[in-house]
A = this chain, B = another copy of it.
Amino acid sequence: MKQSLLISICLLITYATSTAQQHAGQSEVKTDTIHSEILKADRAYTIYLPKSYDTQAQRKYPILYLLHGLSGMNSNWFDKASVKQVQDQLVASGESVEMIIVSPNAGGNPETEWNGYFDMPGWNYEQFFFSELLPHIESTYRVIGDKQNRAVAGLSMGGGGSAAYGQKHADTFGSVYAMSALMAIPADRPIPQNQPAPSKRQLLTKSVIENSCVDYVNNASEAQKEQLRTVKWFVDCGDDDFLLDTNIDFLRAMRAAKIPLEFRIRDGGHDWLYWHSALYTCLPFVSRNFQP
């Protein structure tokens, strides 16, 4: 008996540190694939389902689309920033609400794979996102499915993607949280000319230029500005980030257009430390803006 007690002490120690992810009634992360007619390709996505998903079989949830950066992929946010663990903890403390989080693949090696969130000749990713991916996700999983319960966030190329999606699809998203965002191609770079056979990277760069989040605000009509004000905005960029200037351009454009936004510059650079720590602000922010 004494031995078994000793063993139980030891087991307890191991047990307590390792079981969080296996229990029934726990949140779940899984990866699946959708076939796109628009892209003529299969695309993977990784999805987080909240802990009550299985036990509350009728309940519908708000949703966050979480976008990765250049040369990244659908699993990045989960592997490199511990999204599941952070969200589980914030739900436990009440700072975040239960939601579905989905991260679609929009990248890979930029020399060989299509990267980016916008339409490019031969790769209409934005069309795919809104015509195929979003409807697929929201009919496959129990998503509330209105603007007030849908958010988009992302880092770097995905930060610019989330801001541009919030601008061009303001009736789709209730809130946007852009981290270290590629809001535009920095102003001191020349605009590329037409070329006979541009590479995937060159097409990406052109698409970012064409979808400049700064230009969008500067050129917005009064009606468009009014629409932008229906979205809750949060922009967060490190003081050592090489993209800081385009984020400041965005801030100035938004202030000039009188569109309210939360804006933060924290200590840090363009790296996973920053994006991991940003989750502690991002997830409560989108939670507060959901209206289930």
Please list the residues of chain A having a beta carbon within 8 angstroms of any beta carbon in chain B. 2-3, 5-7, 9-10, 12-14, 16-17, 20, 69-71, 82, 85-86, 89, 92-95, 110, 156-157, 182, 185, 189-190, 192-193, 195, 198, 201-202, 204-205, 232, 239-240, 242, 244-245, 248, 251-252, 255, 261-273, 276, 284-285, 288-289
- Chain B residues with Cβ below 8 Å from A193 are 2
Q: Shortest CB–CB separation between residue A2 and chain B, in angstroms?
A: 5
- Tally of this chain's copies: 4
* List of B residues within 8 angstroms of A182 by Cβ: 13
Given known pairs A264-B267, A265-B263, the reply for A10 and B205 (CB within 8 Å) is yes
Shortest Cβ distance from residue A36 to the other chain B in the assembled complex, whole angstroms: 24
A20 to chain B, nearest CB (A): 7
Sampled A-B contacts (7; CB under 8 Å):
A2-B193, A3-B195, A12-B242, A13-B182, A20-B271, A94-B232, A248-B248
Cβ–Cβ contact B201 & A89, under 8 A:
no
| Complex alpha-carbon distance, A212 and B140, angstroms | 53
B262 adjacent to A264 (CB under 8 Å) = no
| Minimum C-beta distance from A9 to chain B (A) | 5
Top 7 A-B pairs ranked by shortest CB distance? A265-B265, A239-B263, A10-B201, A16-B242, A6-B192, A6-B202, A2-B193
Residue of B nearest to A264 (CB): B265
Kindly state the separation between the CA atoms of A264 and B94 in the bound complex, as whole angstroms: 15
